[in-house]
Structure 1
Amino acid sequence: MTVASTPLITVIVPIYNVENYLEKCLNSIVNQQYKNLEILLIDDGSTDLSGKIADDYALKDNRIKVIHKENGGLSDARNYGLKIMKGEYVTFIDSDDYVTEDYISYMYNLLEQTNFTAPLAICSLINVYGDSGRQKDSGDQTEKVLSGKKCIEMMCYHNLVDTCAYAKLGKKELYSDNFFPVNKLFEDIGSTYKLLMQCEKVACGFKGKYYYVIRPNSIVTSGFSLKKLDLLEMTDQMAKDVIEVYPDLQNAILRRQVYARFSTLNQTLHAKNVNKIQSKLINYINENRAAILKNAKAPKRDKLAYYLLKLGMPVYRFAWLNYEKHKGEQG
């Protein structure tokens, strides 16, 4: 497969103060087996050496274009890349993660196997626990073509399909202007379902090709703030939009909404003065407990979390924090 015979694929990398991780990320991109790349490094107002590192790489590889802009957040950086990209397909890579050398070629081959009737390909993540370095492939090694609707259902149950913006290769036309919601945390929840709703076919390869590094200071694992409630807004908007088109996915969507409350509750366990927020979250979980207890597709961990919560917040807090402490150590 020569460069001339393959379409241009754009790689968009939002960058913000990641000087300690950026070189590993960029090395994994420039060494991709798939060569016909446009690599857009969107420096979103970094105050460390990230911008210089990006510029240095651009001097060595003419596929790289660096854009230095004022800080506007992750979604704004991704949207900027979408506006200026020249590729036929696009994939996103976060600047503190990295990918296998066949990350792009693997997903492109998945599309090729459908004779390019699928506009979107996805792969699985390899979770890398930052403290221990332990790696866990989140996939099951299967490959299949699924409908966008089926992918949304699986995503709602945390069944192989992930909400993340990365680990996907899509036609440019799938991404509308300002595709990612600006000034919101958990923006992937508010956008990935829109990708899937446009696809009659999705080329799925559930093999880990994207190394997702879980760090103690990430958005997901850091302490609680009111901005973390964006998860509920993003999830509920997804629920509204999906149910309008696929009303038969209501059970799956409700499960995801309940999960979002559990996830937000877990974020509050170290916080102070959050009793009112916790009460609202727990009331929602109790009011919608059928989404857990009577849904055969709901993960077992949902049921365990519900029963622990019924025993009271001290028991729930102890169990969850103990689980989090040891999650990255398990073999």
Structure 2
Amino acid sequence: MAVASTPLITVIVPIYNVENYLKKCLNSIINQQYKKLEILLIDDGSTDLSGKIADEYAVKDNRIKVVHKENGGLSDARNYGLKIMTGEYVTFIDSDDYVTEDYISYMYGLLEKTNFKASLALCSLINVYSSTDRLQDNGNQTEVVLSGKKCIEMMCYHDLVDTCAYAKLGKRELYANDFFPKGKLFEDIGSTYKLFLQCDKVACGFKGKYYYVIRPNSIVTSGFSSKKLELLAMTDQMAQAVVTTYPDLQKAVLRRQVYARFSTLNQTLHSENARQDQQMLINYIRKNKKAFLQDSKAPRRDKLAYRLLQLGLPFYRFAWLTYEKRKGE
């Protein structure tokens, strides 16, 4: 690929206390087949050696720029990178993850195949269970151009299209105005749908190019706190915005809202002090059970989860924790 004919692509890497993972992440970025990169390492107030490692890589590769800032959270770090980027396109990579060497060239190639009528491309994830190094490829070999509306629908049903900020390559104009909600957990569900709302065409390649590392102390796998309830607010915000634009996606977004309650309920199963929250979540699921029981597009796991829940929370807890343990093996 001739560098002179290709645009500058910015890679934004938010960094916070990931000294054990960072080198693998950065090695996968600097060894990309696509060479015309601006690599922004946003050190979000790390207290371990992450900042020092970032500085060392900047000495080795002049495409890297390191910013050390006060801790403001993941969204704040991403937004900071967006404000200082100079590339025509941008992609995000979390600092405890890593990517294939053709991660960027693959997605840029997808845009190229549309004659750049699509302003956003995406690829699929490969889950990496850090305790065992087991890999789970979530994609397939399909390449297709979809409407932004269709991507939202698929996202709501967990059908190949993911809510994550990473594993996407988009025009910088798509990410305007402090794109990510600062200070919120699960910010991806509260922002990615905005990309699809702006796109008539999305170049989708469902090959696994992004290694998503699932580690015990991540946001998703750590213990329950009231902050985890932000998933509900972020999902409901997405649902309201989507239905305002596409009223016929009401059924799809309601399924995603119910899923958010199941997901949060699963988080509470590790806590002894969440009974009130659990009851609130269960009440919502029961009230909206038609959203998945009578929806042919809803995943079968929704229906199975509801049947288990009907047998009582203790039985549901046992079944979920057993599944969770086996999934990580």
What TM bracket, shorter-length normalisation? over 0.9
1:207-286 matches, within 5 Å, as 207-286=207-286
How far 1:5 moved relative to its partner? 1.0
Instruction: In structure 1, list runs of 5 or more residues that go unmatched.
Output: none
1:16-95 matches, within 5 Å, as 16-95=16-95
Partner of 1:165: 165
TM-score by length of 1: 0.99
Tell me the SS of whatever aligns to 2:54: helix
> Aligned-pair RMSD on alpha carbons?
0.5
Q: Percent identity?
A: 80
Q: Name the aligned partner's letter for residue 18 of structure 1.
A: V
1:96-245 matches, within 5 Å, as 96-245=96-245
Instruction: In structure 2, list runs of 5 or more residues that go unmatched.
Output: none
Tell me the SS of whatever aligns to 1:306: helix
TM-score by length of 2: 0.99
1:6-25 matches, within 5 Å, as 6-25=6-25
In 1, Cα distance between the equivalents of 2:256 and 2:65?
38
In 1, Cα distance between the equivalents of 2:3 and 2:140?
31
In 2, Cα distance between the equivalents of 1:141 and 1:127?
17
Tell me the SS of whatever aligns to 1:200: coil
In 1, Cα distance between the equivalents of 2:133 and 2:291?
35
In 1, Cα distance between the equivalents of 2:168 and 2:128?
18
How far 1:62 moved relative to its partner? 0.4
Deviations 1:191-242 (A, max 9, x none): 0000000000000000000000011111111100000001000000000000
How far 1:14 moved relative to its partner? 0.2
Q: How many residues align?
A: 329
In 2, Cα distance between the equivalents of 1:104 and 1:274?
42
Q: Name the aligned partner's letter for residue 187 of structure 2.
A: E
In 1, Cα distance between the equivalents of 2:136 and 2:128?
7
Tell me the SS of whatever aligns to 1:265: helix
How far 1:276 moved relative to its partner? 1.0
1:302-317 matches, within 5 Å, as 302-317=302-317
Tell me the SS of whatever aligns to 2:12: strand
